[in-house]
Amino acid sequence: MILKKKYLDIVRYWLYLLLFLLIIIIVVGGLTRLTNSGLSITEWEVISGIFPPLNNEDWHEAFDLYKKIPQYYLVNKNISLAEFKIIYYWEYFHRLLGRLFGLIFLIPFIFFIIKKVFSKEYNLKLSLLFCLILLQGIIGWYMVKSGLIENITVSHFRLAIHLNLALILFSSIYWCLLNFVNFNNKYFFNFSNKNNFIKIFVLIIFLQITLGAFISGLDAGEIYQTWPLMNNNYLPDDTDFKTITLLNIFYNHSLIQFLHRNTAYVIFVYSALISINVFYNKKKYLYTPLFFLLFMVFVQISLGIMTLISGLNIMYASMHQISTIFLLVSSINFYHKFIIQ
């Protein structure tokens, strides 16, 4: 027994709330990046940071701290206090939501431990998830620090780690929810040779998310804004492939966009192969989850193209980021249904 059945509804609503909050956090985090607001708060104050500046003096103090970093004097030197407040609040609400998420996870979890709701295995798993939440906060500050001294934006590597941790957390909570609702104990990843075809598909999606974070962190979407070709070529025409090495491949803006585009094509072809496998073997129990998976692949690719050819319109870019979450949900849901115990 993975949990006591009489607590199922409470646990289910708890996990739904956590997933909803994570979606909001990821959306606000994406908009914080798209509006270049992530460096507006230059200190990490775990307790006092719960409150924003409460008076004019506090606002000027926060603004003066922002004036000391490269993003201000190289990019935003003409920004007013009123404009600073806008970018400040984007980052503030992102951090506040993170704190709220941690509390909403921890307080009910302590109650569930006292009531012995979960098995020992799931007490351990959920404890590890809380550790991941704490790590996510630390990585968030580690990411912000990368843009406070020499750069005008955060490290795209640290941004990718921050985003991937959030999505790993989301995936883990969603997987636990599926197990609880169905009263089974399927494992997300194990070292057996079963279901490798679907495992690889999920890993490719995470790879694509990582490349998307690189695109965002490097502003690599600004280079080629045509589709299906990159200007008039399949390959980026400003890249000398003879000079590419493993050390610099992830710093090349054009090549990162090329990889992101083509990984999308791989996902499209892979999802078609999955469909052939399902229909050929008449796995009718997978028809509905497969439909949602294919629908989200189509939506995600379409929004990516629209974001590109619109000149990185912030609405399309935000929708593209949001649809990433639902692509992940649909792929994990399909994977969970695919596994037969």
Last residue within a domain, chosen from 138, 158, 185:
185
What's the full length of the chain, in residues?
341
Domain containing 133 equals 1-185
Helix (H, G, I), strand (E, B), or coil: what is residue 230?
A: strand
What pLDDT shows up at residue 191? Answer: 64
The encoded tokens of residue 39 equal 């460096």
Check whether residue 21 and residue 48 sit in a common domain: yes
pTM for this structure? Answer: 0.91
CA separation for the pair 225, 206 (Å, rounded):
24
Do 118 and 230 lie in a common domain? no
Tell me, what's the pLDDT at 147? 86
Predicted local confidence at residue 341, as pLDDT: 54
| Complete DSSP assignment for 293-334 | HHHHHHHHHHHHHHHHHTTS-HHHHHHHHHHHHHHHHHHHHH
The backbone torsions φ and ψ at residue 3, rounded to the nearest 5 degrees and listed phi first, read -160, 160
Domain boundary among 134, 158, 185: 185
Name residues of the chain where pLDDT drops below 50.
Answer: none
Residues in Cβ contact with 43 at an 8 Å cutoff, skipping those fewer than 6 apart: 49, 65
Residues 159, 32, single domain; the answer is yes
What is residue 200's three-state secondary structure? helix
Kindly state whether residues 268 and 279 are assigned to the same domain.
Answer: yes
Examine the domain organization and report whether 181 and 214 are in the same domain: no
In the chain, the number of structural domains is 2
Residues 153, 12 share a domain: yes
Among 153, 185, 217, give the residue marking a domain's end.
185
Are 65 and 150 members of one domain?
yes
d(CA 161, CA 139): 8
Are 40 and 83 within 8 A, CB to CB? no
Same domain, yes or no: 241 and 333 = yes
In this structure, the answer to whether residues 125 and 218 fall within a common structural domain is: no
Kindly state whether residues 231 and 247 are assigned to the same domain: yes
* pLDDT one-digit tens code per residue, 273-318: 999 999 999 999 999 999 999 999 999 999 999 999 998 898 998 8
Shared domain for 108 and 238, answered yes or no, is no
Backbone angles phi, psi at 120, to 5 degrees: -60, -35
Indicate whether 116 and 235 sit together in one domain: no
